[in-house]
Amino acid sequence: MAAAARASSSWTDPRAVTAADAVRRVTLAAFRCYGQLRLEVDRGPVVLTGPNGAGKTALLEALSMLAPGRGLRRAALGDLARRKPGGEAPTPWSVAARVDAAGGEIALGTGQDPASRERRVLRIDGEKIRGQKALAERLAIAWATPEQDRLFLDGPGARRRFLDRLVLGFEPGHAAELAAYEHCQRERARLLAEGSGDDAWLSALEDGMARHGIAVAAARRAVAERLDAAAASGAGPFPAARLRMSGAVDQALASMPALAAEDRLRDALAAARAQDAAQGGAAHGPHRSDLEVRFAQKGIAAAEGSTGEQKAMVLSIVLANARALAAERGRPPLLLLDEVVAHLDRARRAAFADEIAALGAQVWLTGTDDDLFHGLRGRAQFFRILDSSVTRT
Amino acid sequence: MTGPELARLIQLLARLPGLGPRSARRAVLDLMRRREQLMLPLAEALREAAEKVVACRSCGNLDTTDPCAICADPRREPGTLVVVEDVGDLWAIERSGATRARYHVLGGVLSALDGIGPDDLDIAGLLRRVRDGAVGEVILALNATVEGQTTAHYVADRLAGLGCRVTRLAHGVPVGGELDYLDDGTLIAALKSRRSL
Ligand SMILES: Nc1ncnc2c1ncn2[C@@H]1O[C@H](COP(=O)(O)OP(=O)(O)OP(=O)(O)O)[C@@H](O)[C@H]1O
Ligand SMILES: [Mg+2]
Ligand SMILES: [Zn+2]
């Protein structure tokens, strides 16, 4: 009885949510505009304000490097290193953090490998990890950035990338499957371009494309379905998004077992060799699929929404993702939301603040002015950034 | 600052995998400090290995005899070949004591982007051994990397029709995992539960 009462009361009090992926301390060295920075934060939402060029996005980007991949600006590794005024060679950058993660607190460290700077090293509790899956298993990070404003207007590649980032939260092995698929695809393209015509070699690569490609497509489909369900519930004044994957492999997965879909892709690739040799690339595979998003209340494609509606739609998908992940892992992901609030109208801004509080996630928010975050007063920690120095307010 | 002798030594050491110029300098300083206990014995061992160790013409293993001690060992099962990428993987499997079979070292994996094709690997030698000898089973113990699996698929394809059973390690071996890093228990389990291709 007492336990039940405690459990139910913890729902009503977001501060009681302790199981969320959250940064507790972060240390940057030679990262973008930061020479040295150490910041300690509580588990709750974090608001960063400051003028243009102060270093808000750079700080979120640093946190995004705690996830596999190239971070929220998809920057080249070398571009992250702090440029020195005299034009001297930059020192290698690093980001270290203590994080509340799945399975307990961990120390994460990442940065340019001093020995070979095109490589990124990742350490968990001081140990170098091989493969980034181990990291994705412990810590889920999702983000929204102003660059995603064009998500529905750009080509399908951007939407697949956007979804892949979210899939990683549910399927930590997704990045490896994707990399394996793309590797086989590149190898096959090279063989076809050289016209060496070794059938056994081509079949071996097409087998890899089929196995990894169907794994990639199946994971995307499953997560698109979960996001679709989560976005339909709890939309509030946000546009409810409907999501689904469209493409030949996705259709195959909808109508037959995965192994049959593999066989089909393998056969399709083998049959398309001449065509692919002539045109480059591959005519079949999950790289041909698209994430289709519709605006449920209005029954239109997301691309047909107004500018503000499209921005709100991206945000609503990212929040739906956080809710779905919280339900699945028992803890919401770390959320990095760069400049998302400025574009929301007053009603959505208030709803957004409530949603953030209810989620119990550590959400990092940026904006130029404190006023934008009125609804989060007393529910978040506020920092002011000026010329790359950060002070709690 | 360093004389030409040391500079040359550092340069040579720095070419070893996993050793950059920095760690090469450290290694050289350490060698200089332990001239008698380490540096001279190392020089001697290097010379001896360079003079005496050769690649086995049958399996590709490194040994002082050709055929190597494994190929020459009459207690080895004659009917089974374990195919590995490189000698390091052969050693890993030997260390685990998981099998009494003989080996075949391919000497790498297929990689179109690196310009490594079937002719750059010892696949012809493998086909010859299977055709000539009484090989009943070929176990493909290639790494669970994408290249390893592509190569396994390719080799299996070339072996088809030669009348031997082709199996591969069951993936207790994690994807992206390399044999050399696995503990012996995982290797033994993977070898026991290998699957037919
Ligand atoms: N590699 C680098 N080395 C040094 N400084 C850099 C590097 N990359 C970017 N900067 C600088 O870092 C500063 C902070 O950039 P950041 O994008 O974080 O600003 P911001 O606070 O998000 O501003 P805005 O409000 O305009 O989005 C900018 O002045 C930028 O020019
Ligand atoms: Mg910014
Ligand atoms: Zn031998």
CATH number of the domain encompassing residue B68: 3.40.1360.10
Q: Give 3-state DSSP helix, strand, coil % of chain B, rounded to 5.
A: 50, 15, 40
Residue B189's pLDDT is: 56
* Phi–psi pair at A390, nearest 5 degrees: -115, 125
Question: Is the confidence at residue B91, as pLDDT, over 60?
Answer: yes
Q: Judge if B104 and B175 occupy the same domain.
A: yes
Our separate counts of H helices and E strands in chain A read 11, 15
| Residue A60 alpha carbon, nearest atom of ligand 1 | 18
Domain containing B126 equals: 62-196
**pLDDT tops 90 at residue A384:** yes
Per-residue pLDDT tens digits for A191-234: 999 987 799 999 999 999 999 999 999 999 999 999 999 988 76
Name the class of domain A151-306: mainly alpha
Contact residues on chain B for A212, CB-CB shorter than 8 A: 146
Q: Does A208 touch chain B (CB under 8 A)?
A: yes
Q: Which of A160-174, A198-212, B68-82, B175-189 has the lowest mean pLDDT?
A: B175-189
* pLDDT above 60: residue A10: no
A208 to B153: CB separation less than 8 angstroms, yes or no:
yes
pLDDT at residue A282, as a whole number: 97
Do residues A147 and A73 lie in contact, with contact meaning Cβ atoms separated by under 8 Å?
Answer: yes
Confidence band of A6 (pLDDT split at 50, 70, 90): very low
> B133 and B67 share a domain?
yes
- The confidence band for A275, taking pLDDT boundaries of 50, 70 and 90, is very high
Going from the Cα of B144 to the center of ligand 3, the distance in angstroms, rounded, reads 24
Shortest-distance Cα residue to atom 26 of ligand 1: A52
Domain assignment present for residue B122? The answer is yes
Query: Does residue A1 register a pLDDT over 60?
Result: no
Summary count for chain B: helices (H), strands (E): 8, 7
pLDDT of residue A387: 95
More confident residue, A265 or B21: A265
Q: In the structure, what pLDDT confidence band is assigned to residue A360 with cuts at 50, 70 and 90? A: very high
What is the distance in A from the centroid of ligand 2 to the CA of A52? 7
Taking the centre of ligand 3 as the mean of its atom positions, its distance from the CA of residue B177, in whole angstroms, is 26
On whether both B48 and B67 belong to a single domain, the answer is no
Q: Are the Cβ atoms of B112 and A184 closer than 8 angstroms? A: no
pLDDT on residue B27: 94
Distance of residue A175 Cα from the nearest chain B Cα, in angstroms: 12
Choose the closest CB to B157 out of A130, A173, A200.
A200
Q: Is residue B11 part of a domain?
A: yes
With a cut of 90, say whether residue B97 has pLDDT above it. Answer: no
User: Does residue B81 sit in the same domain as residue B158?
Assistant: yes
Nearest residue on chain B to A206, alpha-carbon basis: B150
Stretch A311-323: mean pLDDT: 92
Verify whether the Cβ–Cβ distance B146 to A212 is below 8 Å: yes
**Mutation for testing the B interface, residue in A181, A207, A266 having most B CBs under 10 Å:** A207
d(CA A334, CA A64): 9
Q: Residue B168's pLDDT is what?
A: 84
Q: How many domains does chain B have?
A: 2
Judged against a pLDDT cut of 50, whether residue A317 lies above it is answered with yes
SS3 A109: strand
Tell me, yes or no, whether B17 and B98 share the same domain.
no
Which has the closest alpha carbon to A371: A346, A338, A334, A337? A346
In this complex, do A212 and B112 lie within 8 Å of one another by their Cβ atoms? no
CATH of the domain at B9: 1.10.8.420
With beta carbons less than 8 A apart as the criterion, state whether A242 and A228 touch: yes
The half-sphere exposure of A200 on its side-chain side, counting CA atoms within 13 A, is 14
Report which bound ligand comes closest to the CA of B70: 3
A200 interfaces chain B, CB cutoff of 8 Å:
yes
Both structure tokens of B43: 């020089």
The per-residue pLDDT for range A284-297, each reduced to its tens digit, is: 999 999 999 999 88
Instruction: Calculate what percentage of chain B has a pLDDT beyond 90.
Output: 68
The reply to whether B79 and B31 lie within a common domain is: no
**What percent of chain A lies above the pLDDT cut of 90?**
70
User: So what's the pLDDT on residue A197?
Assistant: 75
Per DSSP, the three-state class of B177 is: coil
B157–A115 CB contact, under 8 Å: no
Residue B57 is assigned to a structural domain of this protein: no
Which DSSP helix (H) or strand (E) runs through A31?
Answer: strand A22-31
B51/chain A closest Cα distance in angstroms = 33
Which tokens in the block code for residue A161? 């990338």
pLDDT at A143: 94
Highest mean pLDDT of the ranges A108-117, A245-254, A302-311, B9-18: A245-254
- What is the predicted pLDDT for the residue at A80? 96
For the stretch A125-134, contacts whose Cβ atoms lie closer than 8 Å and that sit 24 or more positions apart, written own/partner, are A130/B176, A130/B181, A131/A176, A131/B176, A132/A68, A132/A69, A132/A175, A132/A176, A133/A68, A133/A172, A133/A173, A133/A175, A133/A176, A133/B176, A134/A172
The model's pTM is 0.82
Residue B186's pLDDT band (boundaries 50, 70, 90)? low
- DSSP β-bridge partners for residue A364: A46, A336
Query: Within this chain, do residues B44 and B73 fall inside the same structural domain, yes or no?
Result: no
Distance, in Å, from the CA atom of A97 to the CA atom of A41, rounded to the nearest integer, reads 11
Q: What is the pLDDT of residues B162-174, one digit of tens each?
A: 999 999 876 544 4
Contact yes or no for B150 and A205 at CB 8 A: yes
Share of chain A above pLDDT 70, in %: 95
pLDDT computed for residue A129 by the predictor: 82
Q: How far apart are CA A264 and CA A202, in angstroms?
A: 16
Residue A139 has pLDDT above 80, yes or no: yes
Amino acid B191: pLDDT: 60
* B74 and B30 in a common domain: no
Q: Rounded mean pLDDT of A317-344?
A: 92
Together in a domain, B80 and B164: yes
Domain positions in chain A: 151-306
Residues of A in contact with B118 (CB under 8 A): 198, 200-201
Residue located via tokens 């990124």: A120
Report CA(A179)–ligand 2 centroid distance (Å): 30
Q: Distances from the Cα of B171 to the Cαs of A391, B12, B168, B193, in angstroms? A: 51, 38, 9, 9
- Determine whether the interchain pair A194/B112 forms a contact, defined as Cβ–Cβ distance below 8 Å: yes
User: Using an 8 Å Cβ cutoff, are B144 and B175 in contact?
Assistant: yes
User: CB count, 10 Å around CB of B18?
Assistant: 6
What is the rounded distance in angstroms from the CA atom of residue A376 to the CA atom of residue A47?
A: 9
Q: Which pLDDT tens digit goes with each residue over A31-52?
A: 999 999 999 999 999 999 999 9
Cβ of B114 under 8 Å from any chain A Cβ?
A: no
Percent pLDDT > 70 in chain B is: 85
How many CB pairs below 8 A link A and B?
Answer: 60
* Alpha-carbon gap, residue B103 to B140, rounded angstroms: 10
How confident is the model over B110-149, as pLDDT tens digits?
999 888 999 999 999 999 999 988 899 999 999 888 899 9
- Report helix, strand or coil for A78: helix
Q: Is B113 within 8 Å of A187 when comparing Cβ atoms? A: yes
Pocket (CB within 6 angstroms of ligand 1): A 32-33, 50, 52-58, 79, 81-83, 368
Index of the ligand 1 atom closest to the CA of residue A81: 1
Give contacts of A200 with chain B, Cβ < 8 Å. 118, 154, 157-158
Provide the pLDDT for residue B57.
95
pLDDT, mean over chain A: 90
Question: What are the Cα distances from residue A265, in Å, to A183, A206, A262, B145, B163?
Answer: 16, 8, 5, 21, 29
Q: What is the pLDDT of residue A137?
A: 87
Confirm whether B142 is domain-assigned.
yes
pLDDT for the residue numbered B188: 61
Interface contact B150, partner A, CB < 8 A: yes
Least CB–CB distance from B157: residue in A116, A196, A203:
A203
List pLDDT tens digits, range A47-87. 999 999 999 999 999 999 999 888 999 999 999 999 988 88
pLDDT confidence tier of residue A12, bands split at 50, 70 and 90: very low
Best A121, A128, A183 residue to mutate vs chain B (most B CBs within 10 Å): A183
Same domain, B118 and B187: yes
Does residue B41 sit in the same domain as residue B77?
no
Which ipTM did the prediction report? Answer: 0.72
Task: For residues B79 and B26, state if they share a domain.
Answer: no
Between A8 and A356, the more confident residue is A356
